[in-house]
Structure 1
Amino acid sequence: MSTTSPSKDSLNTLSTLDAGGKTFHYYSLAKAAQSLGELDRLPFSLKVLLENLLRNEDDTTVDRSHIDAMVQWLEDRHSDTEIQYRPARVLMQDFTGVPGVVDLAAMREAVKIAGKDPALINPLSPVDLVIDHSVMVDKYGNPSAFKENVAIEMARNQERYEFLRWGQQAFDNFRVVPPGTGICHQVNLEYLGKTVWQKEVDGKTLAYPDTLVGTDSHTTMINGLGILGWGVGGIEAEAAMLGQPVSMLIPEVIGFRITGKLREGITATDLVLTVTEMLRKKGVVGKFVEFYGDGLKDMPVADRATIANMAPEYGATCGFFPVDDQTITYMRLTGRDDAQLALVEAYAKAQGLWREPGHEPVYTDTLELDMGDVEASLAGPKRPQDRVALKNMKSSFELLMETAEGPAEAPKAPKAKLESEGGQTAVGIENSYEHRASQQVEMNGETFRLDPGAVVIAAITSCTNTSNPSVMMAAGLIARKALAKGLKTKPWVKTSLAPGSKVVTDYLNVAGLQDDLDKLGFNLVGYGCTTCIGNSGPLPDPVEKAINEGDLTVASVLSGNRNFEGRVHPLVKTNWLASPPLVVAYALAGNVRVDLSKDPLGFDSDGNPVYLKDLWPSQQEIAEAVEKVKTGMFRKEYGEVFDGDETWQSIKVPESKVYEWSDQSTYIQHPPFFDGLGEEPDAIEDIRDANILALLGDSVTTDHISPAGSFKPDTPAGQYLQVNGVKPENFNSYGSRRGNHEVMMRGTFANVRIRNEMLDGVEGGFTRYIPSGEQMAIYDAAMKYQEQGTPLVVIAGKEYGTGSSRDWAAKGTRLLGVKAVVAESYERIHRSNLIGMGVMPLQFPEGMDRKRLKLTGEETITITGLSGEIRPGQRLGMTVTYKDGSTETCDLISRIDTANEAVYFRHGGILHYVVREMLKSV
């Protein structure tokens, strides 16, 4: 069946190629070059965008000027041209996917109310939703942990899963990978990704690059397989799957040359933390990063995917690796069929998308890394780009303690001390803070001392590393060697292993290493993101009590990609990203103040000190273990990937086009976004006499804004659920309740670590309600302002909206009544999401900020220039009226960057525009 109109193809580029015994049609870049000039030196990622324009040329959304702008990029190495990009498919995870499907269901409701067929609202592009964000580490450290956690997950999320099962049968082009299967990015890398896509169009089989957008920022992981993809807000992804192009400026492309090889004992995690640090310093927000150089020759796709995964952490839109022999090797290993491999190689070579030795495209700018210079590293305590060399971890934590809590009264920095196991304190440190903070803990018949820096969570978690067999095998080998020495993990450490796919379990079992990990407490807890997204579950009660009573600064060590404040666990103030083998090592040491570069992790059965170097496997040992990863494992685990277990299959749902909403549900509620939707949007008005809801500093992340993780009974969300009959033990997480706007709007700006500068020394989601001067929850204040009809604004510093592509950071902002955000700079996805929800993102001009304006939050704000035509990048005026009646004015820059974004904003949001356009079409 034809699913798209053929391109106008003004350059006559439609060609054919044969691969795997089949003939394919494709839009040839080589033929385009005959008219456009030499294209071979375009970055590979821009060649993918150029092919997209050639294939979708229609003189409406794509015309010859867009194609010419891609060619001009070679001269200018940057462009101000807006293009309309159409990805081949959309990837979702359940935290962002549930509200996406809720929006689709609400759009169907709106179409039904308008008297039209609800089936008008249907994905036009293939959508895969992988349920991976819901499993929590409730049970751990025992053989039944996985089974128990899955049972708890299914019980907790019954309503959500019923809803997704309904969506699976109600919408076309929509597939669901059931819970207990894997992390969406690893499933994408190992199974869903094709590198070259194909479909039937007007009786021809059309081949073109596999491209996607995803509702998770780490969608970029797929760039390691030569597939161009990046994270967008759930709102933008919904529009993409409904046929709307992704509006974007042709990006700058930063070339990252990689040379040399990693030294013995250095992992892909160490490499990615180094790359992240370098690129953050370089400044690549909103840009593509493309990797090139001779170092790629022997770099396996698993390592490439590790680097590509963390593109959001280094700030880039994506981190792209071109197709080459390593791509084919990985696709063959993971069970892609021979015909697909033949197509990938033939197509990539025909299109100039195949990396050849010595080939150097033209880049906007470049930087270089010799992998031989990489050293063992972690990152933390609260940002992924803050790399700390392993040898500096101890001093880094000590400095953190001194700056955060004042210098310790003990004379000097902690001295190394060797203790036998009987003392049950972390080996290798003398606690200079013992007088002030250490706590005695009794648990499971043991008594031990909990010190500052104690590792209370050690988690092998997240797509970044669990997709990489070399670091997973290394973790298992460390465990094996530790057991042979008689070592065990410290009793206060909550250990967990959450692989990204069942294949990891298969190869750890075949290598015999899962048994070794189990004996150290790293039992399988689930296949999902777990600790990396805040689903770390509760700490043991005695440990939580000790942390609270001693106000202890403790640590987590996790193999994830995110460690923002309040994300991993509310009581754990410092969180350190590390490779899986280092996670195991710190579980053995028990404290980040043990200097693993020279202090012992523990003592063997004879009382001799055991050092990290005694346990670390050689590259040869790791390579021999990795050889046990076989193609049959992938084919077995992905053979029935969409089926699910008996519990999933037994979920019964009505077969209806329109969802049957239930007022009793606390998980799924009909959102108010489309209430009263008229045929035409209301006129945009200036914002007058708005109050400031929150006055925020730099690097406010979507973790600070969007509800995530657990929440307490006394929060607005907790109070709402209790009023609706939900007991605190059944709250689940914010993420699991993203389908209920009542919960989510109450949790917006409610992060326990957010700091509103309107309040002195207060952490958490509070503000000052200006009419009365009283402190209250941000949600409660917003509702009072709404009752009075008072518009609201949020004022912030640099890098506003850093982090995950959380649509609720924008949805919640809108529902709280915020009309505009004024910040010094924005991260890409959140800026787009704000526009997608009809919230105006505004930027201070250079040299102006909240401090120069001496804002306290007591001022009122008027913003003018909105009532006229909304244009990209326009200047608007802001008048600040102070408490004493004096005023100050300044210009603001609209961060509506493209014409399409201006259209979406005029409609009150992108989905409102889509619904109106669909209603007009019938």
Structure 2
Amino acid sequence: MSTTLRQLSQDMLSVHEQKYHYYSLTRAADKLGDISRLPKSMKVLLENLLRWQDGDSVTEEDIAALAGWLKNAHADREIAYRPARVLMQDFTGVPAVVDLAAMREAVKRLGGDVAKVNPLSPVDLVIDHSVTVDHFGDEDAFEENVRLEMERNHERYVFLRWGQKAFNRFSVVPPGTGICHQVNLEYLGQAVWHEEQAGQEVAYPDTLVGTDSHTTMINALGVLGWGVGGIEAEAAMLGQPVSMLIPDVVGFKLTGKLNPGITATDLVLTVTQMLRKHGVVGKFVEFYGDGLDDLPLADRATIANMAPEYGATCGFFPIDAVTLGYMKLTGRSTQQVALVEAYARAQGLWRNTGDEPVFTSTLALDMGAVESSLAGPKRPQDRVALGDVPAAFRASNELEVNQSLKAHQAVSYQDRRTSQRYQLEDGAVVIAAITSCTNTSNPSVLMAAGLLAKKAVSLGLKRQPWVKASLAPGSKVVSDYLAAARLTPYLDKLGFNLVGYGCTTCIGNSGPLPEEIETAIKQGDLTVGAVLSGNRNFEGRIHPLVKTNWLASPPLVVAYALAGNMTLNLQTDPIGEDTAGNPVYLKDIWPSPEEIAEAVQMVSTDMFHKEYAEVFEGTPEWQQIKVSEAATYDWDGDSTYIRLSPFFDDMEKEPEPVRDIHGARILAMLGDSVTTDHISPAGSIKADSPAGRYLLDHGVERTDFNSYGSRRGNHEVMMRGTFANIRIRNEMVPGVEGGMTRYIPGNEQMAIYDAAMRYQKAGIPLAVIAGKEYGSGSSRDWAAKGPRLQGVRVVIAESFERIHRSNLIGMGILPLEFPSGVTRKTLGLTGDEQIDVQDLNQLTPGGVVKVTLTRMDGSQEELEARCRIDTGNELTYYQNDGILHYVIRNMLQ
């Protein structure tokens, strides 16, 4: 029997007298050929394949294909990638834990050992998506918001506390601690992972997948990671590989330095705009060039964080001296830091000055050319130079629509706190939020915000009264260093009091505006703005009444709170007046690089040691939550947050043969670029929707509905909200927006959920018909789980987005592609047709599947659709009725 590459590559590394076994890329290169100029991110993937080579999921051909990528910087091959760990936030984590708990119930029912249902990879769940900015602008805001969060989410937190005790390798970081990506950067990420395997200490690159798209932030630490859907994350933590195509890698060369007064936020908005224009969807981006020598790790994290905004799978920074410096600062052990350096150098993962790897394509930026910028009014890639913001605001489509309907006007309102009257005008900044992992992980921009506030207060400037200001850092360390630099009182004075440690405004948890402000906006049909230091500013995301949203650095967020209106040009117009009535300009209060550098010196390793010493402990309120010690969860039949999901109700030990689909009705016929946001429930729950009616029937007051995100652990709510997006257009009901369909036969118009339940009662399977790029956007597990529970068995589209396609298979739904040149339009489909899909017991990956359409008049048409089950692994999952069914059956053997 010949020696495998895996065996051939085994080697030993000695660090401070500790020995580590590892899989040497240098040794593998003896057989694979020179790989020295492979991008560093590709070397991480290569090591992963080498370490997991088993002749089945990973073959020598897979490893050779990745090494052979160098020939033309491209390879058409699917590989099985196994990340070291999984990161979750609470919105996506709750349904994953519900699934684990439901899997335990299924294993128990089928006579297996429930202890086998445990994560095989370490899983960290950080509760960071549930805090809302209800209270702001005073010293009690933090306490009040945390109290409300604990009240609203008590049921969810009881469940997560149980999960923390019940599952091995599953850790929960309690609420009020920080944002998952910042906690990952400052504490969880190790750059090089090591653990005992078969009596040996094995070292390998730290890699992960996360259930949040901004997982990419950890790429700044040389850790390869990106966001996936809940279904892939569950599979990964249960030992299943993540299927992925060998990526193209775009090299982004950074040279020079940022000019004084220019921030990391300005840099990332420039990078985002450039990469969006270049086109990097589905690709890796790797940063290189000698500009990295002086680019702080926090600035790298700002850039890596926004990979979803420039469209890349990840934005990777190789390990170098800057990485080691940050690891020391944030309190990683001396041994860990030494291991990272030794391992990175031995594996060719270390960045040397002058490195020029081979890339699929390249871009370059001299950082000296970056100017002060915002992005808006509704897309993160739409960068606007600071001086051009007033023009960009006026040019926004929403404003033009408004201007054609009304003359420019202001609305008078009375402030409820002071009883004074003010005018609210078009362009008013009603939200100014220092929020989100993108920027709150960066001491230089946060210190700049504090210093700007200090100068503003010293001159007598005040926040405009209509601005809802908030500070939501990504970790408690931020509060420590702002306090150490004595900047907290000045931020407080301008209304930027601490409101919570969590995502808040950036994910739409901005909370209500004061009632008089909301009334004035509606009364005048005003186009107002939000300025936030976040990463996403899509329409309707920040607040339903705020039509324009602008991404900006923390100091600019403070500046706009002072200015109070987007139509002011902060480059040339005064931002306010001092106590003597003299005009004050932005340049008068902008801190110097020396002042910022001096403040940043206040950040100390002791702060990280202090805040992360008891990171899993939580507040007294968290610790007082009583939970059972049982291995299976004690389900509460009255809960409207957490319910036992029905996915495994009818499951047996052996899979049944795959059944053909006969007489399927079309539930929805959709156009191009239908996103997972259209399919999956998100945002607020309307009282007259199927989900709203369900909650009212279960005694939930309208004020306590909370969001779909917070109720992801209740399938009854989620299946009612599937296809219920207010902007979805089902072509079966032309001219109607929202989740409506026609029930066939007959033409009764009703909610998609109501029709699905009526079909289900009659035993009729369902199909969804769609155009190009079905399931684009973020990966959302409920975009596959919801249709499954509604009875959808097949989706026939012109093309699929990669992650959603795999999620459908993971839930036992068959993805089929129309033959080339054939669409719902060329076929003249109306939605009245019946669909048969034959010979499903003979499916092959990428094979042809026979589809028969039967029209209302009885005439039939046959199609040869392409099966979009692309790999043998995916076929196995489908034949088992889904990936989790497959995992359970493995556990029962």
TM-score, scaled to structure 1: 0.91
Kindly provide the CA deviation profile for residues 396-438 of structure 1, in whole angstroms up to 9, marking residues without a partner as x: 232224686165378xxxxxxxxxxxxxxxxxxxxx522xxx4
From 626, 648, 651, give the equivalent of 2:600: 626
Corresponding position: 1:115 with 2:90: no
CA distance in structure 2 between the partners assigned to 1:754 and 1:727 by the alignment: 27
Corresponding residue number in structure 2 for 1:897:
870
CA distance in structure 1 between the partners assigned to 2:182 and 2:132 by the alignment: 18
Corresponding residue number in structure 2 for 1:420:
none
CA distance in structure 1 between the partners assigned to 2:78 and 2:872 by the alignment: 8
Distance 1:703 1:359, change over 3 A: same
* Post-superposition offset of 1:525: 0.8
CA distance in structure 1 between the partners assigned to 2:669 and 2:376 by the alignment: 25
* Post-superposition offset of 1:289: 1.4
CA distance in structure 2 between the partners assigned to 1:206 and 1:858 by the alignment: 57
From 861, 867, 871, give the equivalent of 2:844: 871
* Post-superposition offset of 1:860: 3.1
CA distance in structure 1 between the partners assigned to 2:478 and 2:319 by the alignment: 25
Alpha-carbon contact 1:564-1:703 (below 8 Å) kept: no
Corresponding residue number in structure 2 for 1:814:
788
Alpha-carbon contact 2:110-2:652 (below 8 Å) kept: no
* Post-superposition offset of 1:741: 0.7
Corresponding residue number in structure 1 for 2:227:
231
Corresponding position: 1:178 with 2:182: no
Alpha-carbon contact 1:756-1:762 (below 8 Å) kept: yes
Corresponding residue number in structure 2 for 1:421:
none
From 395, 413, 418, give the equivalent of 1:399: 395
Corresponding position: 1:126 with 2:122: yes
Structure 1 stretch displaced more, 796-805 or 464-473: 796-805
CA distance in structure 1 between the partners assigned to 2:891 and 2:608 by the alignment: 41
From 351, 355, 359, give the equivalent of 2:351: 355
Corresponding residue number in structure 2 for 1:423:
none
Alpha-carbon contact 2:817-2:865 (below 8 Å) kept: yes
Corresponding position: 1:737 with 2:733: no
* Post-superposition offset of 1:610: 3.0
Corresponding position: 1:586 with 2:560: yes
CA distance in structure 1 between the partners assigned to 2:554 and 2:772 by the alignment: 33
Corresponding position: 1:269 with 2:265: yes
Alpha-carbon contact 1:384-1:561 (below 8 Å) kept: yes
Q: Specify the code of the residue in structure 2 equivalent to 1:441.
A: Y
CA distance in structure 2 between the partners assigned to 1:143 and 1:754 by the alignment: 42
Distance 1:679 1:697, change over 3 A: same
Structure 1 stretch displaced more, 385-394 or 874-883: 874-883
Q: Percent identity?
A: 67
Corresponding residue number in structure 1 for 2:310:
314
Secondary structure in structure 1 of the residue aligned to 2:840: coil
Secondary structure in structure 2 of the residue aligned to 1:408: helix
Distance 1:35 1:858, change over 3 A: closer
Kindly provide the CA deviation profile for residues 644-689 of structure 1, in whole angstroms up to 9, marking residues without a partner as x: 1211111121111111111011111000111101233344455565
* Post-superposition offset of 1:862: 3.3
CA distance in structure 2 between the partners assigned to 1:310 and 1:896 by the alignment: 31
Corresponding position: 1:378 with 2:399: no
TM-score, scaled to structure 2: 0.94
Corresponding position: 1:286 with 2:263: no
From 475, 479, 488, give the equivalent of 2:449: 475
Corresponding residue number in structure 1 for 2:77:
81
CA distance in structure 1 between the partners assigned to 2:60 and 2:363 by the alignment: 33
Corresponding position: 1:557 with 2:531: yes
Structure 1 stretch displaced more, 761-770 or 657-666: 761-770
Secondary structure in structure 2 of the residue aligned to 1:175: strand
Gaps of at least 5 residues in structure 1 are 1-6, 411-431
Q: Specify the code of the residue in structure 1 equivalent to 2:846.
A: G
Kindly provide the CA deviation profile for residues 77-96 of structure 1, in whole angstroms up to 9, marking residues without a partner as x: 22222222221111111111
Corresponding residue number in structure 2 for 1:454:
428
Alpha-carbon contact 2:834-2:855 (below 8 Å) kept: no
Q: Specify the code of the residue in structure 1 equivalent to 2:415.
A: M
* Post-superposition offset of 1:725: 1.3
Alpha-carbon contact 2:469-2:561 (below 8 Å) kept: yes
From 337, 340, 344, give the equivalent of 1:341: 337
Corresponding residue number in structure 2 for 1:505:
479
Corresponding residue number in structure 2 for 1:427:
none
Alpha-carbon contact 1:782-1:817 (below 8 Å) kept: yes
Matches within 5 A, 1:502-651: 502-651=476-625
* Post-superposition offset of 1:110: 0.2
Alpha-carbon contact 1:312-1:803 (below 8 Å) kept: no
Corresponding residue number in structure 2 for 1:366:
362
Secondary structure in structure 2 of the residue aligned to 1:277: helix
Kindly provide the CA deviation profile for residues 367-390 of structure 1, in whole angstroms up to 9, marking residues without a partner as x: 222222323322233332233333
Corresponding position: 1:492 with 2:466: yes
Distance 1:848 1:560, change over 3 A: farther
Kindly provide the CA deviation profile for residues 211-240 of structure 1, in whole angstroms up to 9, marking residues without a partner as x: 111111111111110001111111111111
Corresponding residue number in structure 2 for 1:426:
none
Alpha-carbon contact 2:402-2:525 (below 8 Å) kept: no
Alpha-carbon contact 1:863-1:876 (below 8 Å) kept: no
Alpha-carbon contact 1:401-1:407 (below 8 Å) kept: no
From 399, 405, 414, give the equivalent of 1:442: 414
Corresponding residue number in structure 2 for 1:832:
806
Q: What is the aligned length?
A: 889
CA distance in structure 2 between the partners assigned to 1:569 and 1:541 by the alignment: 14
Gaps of at least 5 residues in structure 2 are none
CA distance in structure 1 between the partners assigned to 2:250 and 2:700 by the alignment: 50
* Post-superposition offset of 1:103: 0.3
Matches within 5 A, 1:59-208: 59-208=55-204
Matches within 5 A, 1:1-80: 10-80=6-76
Corresponding residue number in structure 2 for 1:914:
887
Distance 1:824 1:263, change over 3 A: farther
* Post-superposition offset of 1:876: 4.7
CA distance in structure 1 between the partners assigned to 2:191 and 2:135 by the alignment: 38
CA distance in structure 2 between the partners assigned to 1:487 and 1:850 by the alignment: 61
Distance 1:169 1:192, change over 3 A: same
Corresponding residue number in structure 2 for 1:416:
none
* Post-superposition offset of 1:759: 5.1
Distance 1:866 1:353, change over 3 A: farther
CA distance in structure 1 between the partners assigned to 2:736 and 2:586 by the alignment: 41
Distance 1:159 1:677, change over 3 A: same
* Post-superposition offset of 1:894: 4.1
Q: Specify the code of the residue in structure 1 equivalent to 2:177.
A: T
Structure 1 stretch displaced more, 313-322 or 794-803: 794-803
Alpha-carbon contact 1:11-1:32 (below 8 Å) kept: no
Kindly provide the CA deviation profile for residues 18-76 of structure 1, in whole angstroms up to 9, marking residues without a partner as x: 11331111111111112221111111111111111221222232222222112221113
Kindly provide the CA deviation profile for residues 741-796 of structure 1, in whole angstroms up to 9, marking residues without a partner as x: 11112222333444555556655444455655455433233333433444444445
Kindly provide the CA deviation profile for residues 506-531 of structure 1, in whole angstroms up to 9, marking residues without a partner as x: 11111122211111111111111111
Corresponding residue number in structure 2 for 1:746:
720
Secondary structure in structure 2 of the residue aligned to 1:23: strand
Q: Specify the code of the residue in structure 1 equivalent to 2:757.
A: M
Secondary structure in structure 2 of the residue aligned to 1:297: helix
Kindly provide the CA deviation profile for residues 453-476 of structure 1, in whole angstroms up to 9, marking residues without a partner as x: 332222211111111111111222
Corresponding residue number in structure 2 for 1:433:
408
Distance 1:39 1:731, change over 3 A: same
Distance 1:324 1:483, change over 3 A: same
CA distance in structure 2 between the partners assigned to 1:543 and 1:800 by the alignment: 39
CA distance in structure 2 between the partners assigned to 1:453 and 1:44 by the alignment: 46
Distance 1:842 1:577, change over 3 A: farther
Distance 1:138 1:396, change over 3 A: same
Alpha-carbon contact 1:858-1:882 (below 8 Å) kept: no
CA distance in structure 1 between the partners assigned to 2:723 and 2:543 by the alignment: 17
